Structure 1
Amino acid sequence: MPVQSPRNRRGRGPRGPLLPPGTPRHRSVARRFDAAVVDAYQPLLDAYPDQLRNLDIAVDTVPRMRLRPDMTVFPEEIAADGPVPLGRVIPAGVDSRGRPTRARIVVFRKPVEQRCTGVEERTELLRRILTQLVAAHLNMDPSDIDPGFHD
């Protein structure tokens, strides 16, 4: 039996991934964004470890909230750019099965990505969003958490 060549069936190139799975470029856009959120959140977690111990961080692709069309000012639990939510704090509560849930911060990937032209701008926007949401969760002013914070 002949040995199969590692080329595709039309003989135009190798089969399989071009980059090994461990390389940074192999990660998807969503995974790189998730890593950027974790990196932006880490200094806040280091500064307030006891207060943020029971707070989860999540990333959602788009906001899944019911907003009124006449809503021009969002509550402090929602970080927004104009009429578009960029993240929100969901308080602890009880799910539909009666089990307790933990408080969590949700960052919306698509709206954040659409407002950024580069990695540095995305890092700064994520830092600002997470500072605002952590401050809302801790019932603090964002400038108390980050003296350079500007809304």
Structure 2
Amino acid sequence: MAISKGDIVPNFKAKTQSGEKFELSNYKGKPLVIYFYPKDNTPGCTTQACSFRDQYQDFQDLGAEVIGVSGDSEDSHDKFALKHKLPFILLSDGNKKIRNIFGVPTHFFGLLPGRVTYIIDKEGKVVSVFNSIKANVHIEHALEMIQKMK
């Protein structure tokens, strides 16, 4: 069952690109942008990550945190983050646990993990779900939704 607008996101744990423990409940009280993407170092995913990087300070100024999630390993995420100077958290979801919690669909007959962005308010409630395989449109939508929450 997919998480939809109006749902409270259940707590989950994962590992960040640096191997640190991440727990969603530690971010309660802060707006979040959680974006799921197919794979590190692919053209679309790199474009998307770098767009979030380039506007990361705008999200921070609005009190929000950005979190990227894919099935890549912590090591892959670490190299991806270092190569592109990504200042935000990347979560490793190799077992698809987080993807399944959110109900992120796959594309192209189940061959490609989906690209979906969730905007979550301070209380942990989803205020927007943006599903598009086009990497370059997620950033605009996410920033607009975070600005509306202010």
Q: With the length of structure 1 as denominator, give the TM-score of the two structures.
A: 0.32
State the structure with bigger RCO (CA 8 A, min sep 6), 1 or 2. Answer: 2
Q: Where is the strand percentage greater, Structure 1 or Structure 2?
A: 2
Q: With the length of structure 2 as denominator, give the TM-score of the two structures.
A: 0.32
> Which structure has the greater CA radius of gyration?
1
